[in-house]
Each structure stands twice: as structure tokens, then as C-alpha cells.
Structure 1
Amino acid sequence: MTRLFEGLRVIDCSSFIAAPGAAAVLSDFGADVIKIEPPGAGDAGRNLSRLPGNPKTDQTYGWLLDNRNKRGMVLDLALPEGQAVLHRLAGTADVFITNYPLAVRKKLNLGYETLSKLNERLVYGSFTGYGERGAEASKPGFDMTAYWARSGLMDGCRPDASLPPARALVGMGDHPSAISLFGAVMLGLYQRERTGRGSQVGSSLIANGFWANGFNVQAALCDATFYPRPPREKLFNALTAYYKCRDDKWLILTILNEERQWPVLAKCLGREALVSDPRFLKQADRFKHAGELIATLDAAFAERDRSEWRQILTDAGLVFEIVASPQDCAVDQQAIDAGVLVPFENDTLMTITSPLHVDGQPKVAPRKAPAIGQHTEEVLREAGYGADEIAQLRAGKVLG
């Protein structure tokens, strides 16, 4: 069948996670994505999973996730000949994606001003750490800094106010930001459909971080009074707290319809007497005595393993969820059934698909991410380069 983006040519001239992730989403729906990497080690994102502290395996799992389906090409953009090749490719492309620093784009002649003169229909997807205007526009940024720390998320997500700020996971801000950049590219393509002309579109880590923390940032904009987050044992509401089970695994309750569901929970826990306890009779009472109720529920949840509680609470129709580990996620049957986890093409290894779908448009079966320069000559031949020209580019180290 014809894929939604079949025939759409995308040049991914970016590194690490957020911008390559946006290109991967386009590839899921059939776009031909050409990944441009520098000579040598290639995109620094290739080795991200090998850094100390990250989970260890022979698979470069970060690279697999964010660069599936792409064709890999090595090009030395520091050389005028390399820039000439890129310009030739950009002249017939539909989308160009980059997160190179603004000064580097100018130095390498791959800014929007340059490429749009070569192709007026080009949609130029720009991703930055701190936006493209202001005193800090040229400041380097990663999701840990520009998204997580600068947005207030790092401060707000600490377990309680007395503890150090919470440290984010790798890619925690990058992957949501990839969807924002994808959305911006789609707006550019939609505008092109209406006007016939391309444009520069974009997103940034700081914008996505502020959006993710929008509830609290908007509260601050409204001059709200903030309350320090208390320790778990002293949370304001016992029925939206999280609890450790007998096997040291956790689950979290989100019981908002308390009038109906509080008696159901008490019955599930074998603590029916709590319903008539004056301390917990009404919601206001439960809020007032939340610490005491948390201690009581702690003792109850400690009597069974999480798998038992999961079945009991599910059967009762209560809103809760397990606090899953990555290992739990990897075997999550609902994620498999819902198409969140899918196998690589002709492989048993699973990956995470992009969080979007279009009815009647099945995604491309994900193909493994390319080796460094795997498709360089193939792409050049498609662009009209002959064997002698390719040999000359190789001799000049333009192709690594």
C-alpha cells in the first residue's frame, strides 16, 4: 500500500535524540530519511548508551530507537566539497532537520537562508536548546539542562522539599520534544500545501520544558502561593499516594471519586472498619488525617505482593497503576497489544513505536538503524553522481 509520506525526502542533519527522533517519526509513516553523519565516529548519539551509569548491553539501544528506518550517509561538511553535496541533496528534499548550533550552521553553510535559496519548497526544521532569539540563543543545551533543570521540573519533581532536586532520565525531555518538532514540520508541510512555498519551523528544549511544567509555571505567572512538597508519609491525600507492597514493588492510587470508591478500597484491603472511623469518615477528615491514613494503608499493602494487589484492585474497578521499572515495561502485554512495542523487521527484537497513529495507515515495519555511512554511495547515485565523481569525493576524504 502507499504510505502516508511515501515519496517525501527528509535530510536528517542532526545529533543525539530530539531532532533525530522527529525524523524517525516521519520515517515511521514512509518518509525516506537520509541521516548525515560526520566522518570518524559519526553522530555522538551512537555511543550514548555506552556512557557510565547507563544500562549495559551489546546493542546500541539509543541509536536503534532514534534512527530506525533511516539511510546512513557520511559527509564532511567542514569541506566545501561536502557542503556542495549537501546543497545538491537539499535542492530536491522536502524536509531538512538540524539541531546544529546556530553559529555552526552559518559556518557550514546549512542555515535556512542558504538552503531556502536552493529550494523554495524546503521545510526547514530547526531545533535548539534555548530558542533562536535572546541573549542565550547560542548557549549549548541538553534535555537535562535546558528542558529538565531550566523549566522547574527538576526542582518540582524531588520526592520532598528537603531532598536534592530530582535527576532526569536520558532522553526524558528529548523524546517529547521530538514530537513537538515533528508537529512543527507537519505545520510547515501543511503551509506548503496551501502556499506552494516552504518555511523555517522549529522548537526548543526550553519551550518544551516550560510546556511540560505548564501547570506550575502558569500558577507562578498568576502569582500563586506554592507549598513545599512534603515527604510521602505526610502527603495531603492518602488516596493519591503510592505504596510499597510485600515484595518491595510499588503501586500508586488515583482515587478521585472518593465518596463511591473509598469504601471499595477499604474492602479490598480488608479494612472495612476504616470507613466508619471518625478520622476518615469524610473527605475533609481524610485530608486532615492523611498521615495517619497513609500509615494504615502502608501496613495493609505490605501484606501482599504487588501482583496480588494488582488483580484485586483491577477486579474492583479502582484507578491505580503499578510503578513500573524498565524491565516491567519491556514485557508489558498491554503495550504489545496496543502496538506501543513492535518488533524490528525480520527480527524478534522489539522497539518503541512513535506515539501517533492514523487510521488506515499502518506504520513501516521498523528497520535497524544504519551503520556509519552504510548508504552513502546509494544516496549519491540517486542524486546523479557518477562512479568517477564518487571516487573523487572518497579520495578527497569528503565521504570519510
Structure 2
Amino acid sequence: MKPLEGIRILEVAMYGFVPSAGAVLAEWGAEVIKVEHAVTGDPQRGLRQTGTFRIDGDVNPNVEHANRGKRSIGLDMSKPEGREVLYELVRKADIFLTSFLPGPRARFGIDVDDIREVNPTIIYARGSALGPRGAESDRGGYDMTAFWSRGGIAATITPPGGEGIINPPGPAFGDTISGTNLAGGIAAALLKRERTGEPSVVDVSLLGSGLWSMGHTVALSLFLDKPMEAPKPGSHGSIRNPLSGLYKTADDRYLSLVMLQPGKFWRDVCEHIGRPELADDPRFATAEAIGEHTAEAVDILRAAIAERTLADWTKQFATLSGPWAPVQDSQQVGSDAQIRDNEYIVDVGELELVSNPVQFDVSRPEAAAAPEFAAQTDDILQELGLDWDRIIELKAAGAVT
């Protein structure tokens, strides 16, 4: 049994952020009903160009990632009949999940008070760009604006002296992280309701999630009263530790070493690169000495690691005691045996998708395909007890798809 089996979620949301929370909750066992506009659906369905990636055909990974395992109903909340159906769904739900801004929430009758009037015990969860308070709480945004740019990430990872700002590594980067945060908050609210009977209003924003992901850096910057600066491309990065940085291999790949106690791991590294004599070199005899001679150690390691390929070093470093990893792109991760062994990528219909990051009882994560637009509308209406005459009336009125 999955942890959230028996929990019903009504999702009134678009694009990547809040729907990704619904996707996580669906993989944890909840039933998620996705409400889409009766005619246009979730605008994410029409997003076909992402950077240099162009998607043609019926399958859209952007939609599948954030909507796996849900059911879809096409509903026009602006029509009284559509709102009536929505409220019937609210009565049977444990969680109301939305990305709508305060103005539209009030206009469509889906704000906290509206939903609680229909179902007093429902957990109300909302994802926003900039948070529920302050002068800008009614402003929208995307992960590029609120999470990446305003949250401090873009400027922090962009090396000084160059033109422009580094972009996010891919679509919905901040959305997916923020959605997982929202899923965790909802799970905690379910536990509180079970213990106390009190439902919560759960808020997660892209801005708050961006700041949380930068928490160490922001704390250091505020304490020291200066911003963190990214190292220039090609520089080692750490000024006091040669075992914390990137090293290029003979086939133009990179190894990432992160051994925060260089004195502990230096001898082992020297033996693995075939230079055991360096372990007793006075320049590197202690952690303090290594720190003083970091530049020399970096030059030695660069020369040694550049002599062999990544595949060679992967075999050689299999017994290395300190943490290291190959630098991999978004395609190379699919060939990583450790990723496959842990089933962090799963088959979902015609696609392979990344599973949500939480596993229970060391069991295989299960993911189902995203629904086609409004595919379960008739089924959901019948489950509400509506007969075909009423369903046809709703369709004629344009209230449902």
C-alpha cells in the first residue's frame, strides 16, 4: 500500500510548478483529479519549443513529467454549471491544490473561504511566484523569474566579468523543486489534520524555494556582508583544497572531486593516480600544508588526470575512499548504472521519466502516464452521480468538455 492511498486531490493548476506537486502526490498513492479549462486545457500542453528542443507529435514530455498518474476533467469554472460541478468535486476531496492568483481565485469562487464553505475540513494548498504576503503577492511569475533570477541563483553562479547571466539548466528546473516542496508541505498538513482534525492552508512559492535552495549561500552572504562570487570558468574553485574541484580527462570529460578533509584523503588519491611518492612530499604532509600549496597540488592532479579517459578513471577510482563523480549531461545520466539500479528513471508508456526522489520501503517507484486532455470527464461526472441527461446538459452549456 502506498502512503497516500485513499487521499483525493483536486488540482486546479497550470504549467509546471503546482502540477509537479500533484505528480509527486500521485506517485505517493493519492488520486489526483486535474481540472483543465473546458476548451483550451492546461497551456503546458501547447508548449512544444523548449530551448533547442522541439517536440512534434502527440507525446509531450513536458506534460508527462508534471501530470503523471492523474485523471483530467475539462471544466469551465466561469459558468455557474461548471462551478457547481467543481464544488461537487470539492466536497469529496481531501486537498484543494491551485496555482491561481488571488484575483482569479476570487473571480472563480475558489479562494480559501469559498472552498472551505463547501468543505470545511479540506486542506487548501497553493503555489505562488512571490509568496502570499507583501505588495507583490498578487503578481505571477515563472521559475526563470521568481526562483532563478530573484532568488539569487542566476547571479551567484554567473562568473564575474562576462556578458549576460547564466540561464537555468533546463525547463521547469525551479518548478519541479518547488513542487516537491509543496508536496512535502501537503503531506505534513495531512498528518496534522489526522492528529488534530484541523485543516491547514499550505503555501509554497518559487521565490521561497529558490532562497531555500540557496540557504547556505545567503546565510554566509548576510553574515559576511558580501555576495558569493562564482569562480571563473577553468579555475579550480577552492583556494585551500586541491581535492575539491573539477579535473579534465583525456577525452575532454570531467571528474568532480569533493573531499572536504584533504589531509584524510591525500595519500589515497596519490596512490590511485599512480603518484604514491606525493603522499610523503613535505608540501602535502598535513592538511595545513596542502592548503598552503593548493595551486601546486592542482597542477599535479590536472596533469595526471589528463593522461587517461573518464572510463579509465572510473575503473581506477572504483576503490577511492573519498567522494567523486563523473560530470554528466542530461542524456548521459540515462546510461548511469547507479541511476538505473535505483530506478530513478522509470518507463511510463512511450517515455522514460525521472521518478520522484522519494522511495518507500526500498520498493520500485511506480508512475503512470499523464491523461489526455479531459479524457476522464465523463467518468468523473458519473462518479459524482450525474446521469447522462445532466451530463449532456452540461456539455451543451459549455460547462464541461
TM-score for the superposition, normalised by structure 2 = 0.91
Which residue of 1 is the match for residue 29 of structure 2? 30
Which residue of 2 is the match for residue 233 of structure 1? 235
Secondary structure of the residue aligned to 1:201 is strand
Deviation at 1:187, TM superposition (A): 2.3
CA distance in structure 2 between the partners assigned to 1:270 and 1:393 by the alignment: 75
**Residue-by-residue CA offset, 1:292-340 (whole Å, 9 max, x unaligned):** 4333322222211111111111223332001111112122221222232
Deviation at 1:133, TM superposition (A): 0.8
Deviation at 1:283, TM superposition (A): 3.2
CA distance in structure 2 between the partners assigned to 1:396 and 1:301 by the alignment: 69
- Tell whether the 8 Å contact from 1:156 to 1:165 is kept in structure 2 after alignment: no
Which residue of 2 is the match for residue 121 of structure 1? 121
Are 1:78 and 2:78 matched, yes or no?
yes
**Residue-by-residue CA offset, 1:16-75 (whole Å, 9 max, x unaligned):** 112111111221122111111113342122233533423657531121111111111111
CA distance in structure 1 between the partners assigned to 2:247 and 2:150 by the alignment: 30
- Tell whether the 8 Å contact from 2:343 to 2:364 is kept in structure 1 after alignment: no
Which residue of 1 is the match for residue 175 of structure 2? 174
Amino acid at match of 2:45: R
- Tell whether the 8 Å contact from 1:233 to 1:295 is kept in structure 2 after alignment: no
Which residue of 2 is the match for residue 308 of structure 1? 312
Please point out which of 341, 354, 357 is paired with 1:355: 357
Secondary structure of the residue aligned to 1:182 is helix
Q: After the TM superposition, which of the residue ranges 39-48 and 324-333 deviates more from structure 2?
A: 39-48
Structure 1 pair 20–34 and aligned structure 2 pair: CA distance change class (3 A)? same
- Tell whether the 8 Å contact from 1:9 to 1:93 is kept in structure 2 after alignment: yes
CA distance in structure 1 between the partners assigned to 2:155 and 2:276 by the alignment: 39
CA distance in structure 2 between the partners assigned to 1:172 and 1:63 by the alignment: 14
Flag structure 2 segments of 5+ consecutive residues without an equivalent.
Answer: none
Identity of aligned residues (%): 29
- Tell whether the 8 Å contact from 1:29 to 1:362 is kept in structure 2 after alignment: no
Secondary structure of the residue aligned to 1:321 is strand
Q: After the TM superposition, which of the residue ranges 166-175 and 263-272 deviates more from structure 2?
A: 263-272
Are 1:161 and 2:160 matched, yes or no?
yes
- Tell whether the 8 Å contact from 1:180 to 1:203 is kept in structure 2 after alignment: yes
Deviation at 1:205, TM superposition (A): 0.9
- Tell whether the 8 Å contact from 1:27 to 1:69 is kept in structure 2 after alignment: yes
**Residue-by-residue CA offset, 1:163-200 (whole Å, 9 max, x unaligned):** 34321122221112112111221222122213334232
CA distance in structure 2 between the partners assigned to 1:119 and 1:105 by the alignment: 16
CA distance in structure 1 between the partners assigned to 2:54 and 2:260 by the alignment: 36
Structure 1 pair 75–304 and aligned structure 2 pair: CA distance change class (3 A)? same
Which residue of 1 is the match for residue 20 of structure 2? 21
Secondary structure of the residue aligned to 1:357 is coil
CA distance in structure 2 between the partners assigned to 1:353 and 1:81 by the alignment: 37
Which residue of 2 is the match for residue 109 of structure 1? 109
Structure 1 pair 244–297 and aligned structure 2 pair: CA distance change class (3 A)? same
Deviation at 1:207, TM superposition (A): 1.1
**Residue-by-residue CA offset, 1:260-291 (whole Å, 9 max, x unaligned):** 32122122223334445554444334333433
Taking the TM superposition and a 5 Å limit, the aligned residue runs for 1:1-400 are 2-54=1-53, 56=55, 58=57, 59-158=59-158, 160-163=159-162, 164-168=164-168, 169-226=170-227, 228-231=229-232, 232-235=234-237, 236=239, 237-344=241-348, 347=349, 349-359=351-361, 363=365, 365-400=366-401
Amino acid at match of 2:37: P
Secondary structure of the residue aligned to 1:191 is helix
- Tell whether the 8 Å contact from 1:50 to 1:60 is kept in structure 2 after alignment: no
State the Cα RMSD in Å: 2.2
Secondary structure of the residue aligned to 1:202 is strand
Secondary structure of the residue aligned to 2:208 is helix
CA distance in structure 2 between the partners assigned to 1:79 and 1:97 by the alignment: 20
Q: After the TM superposition, which of the residue ranges 33-42 and 351-360 deviates more from structure 2?
A: 351-360
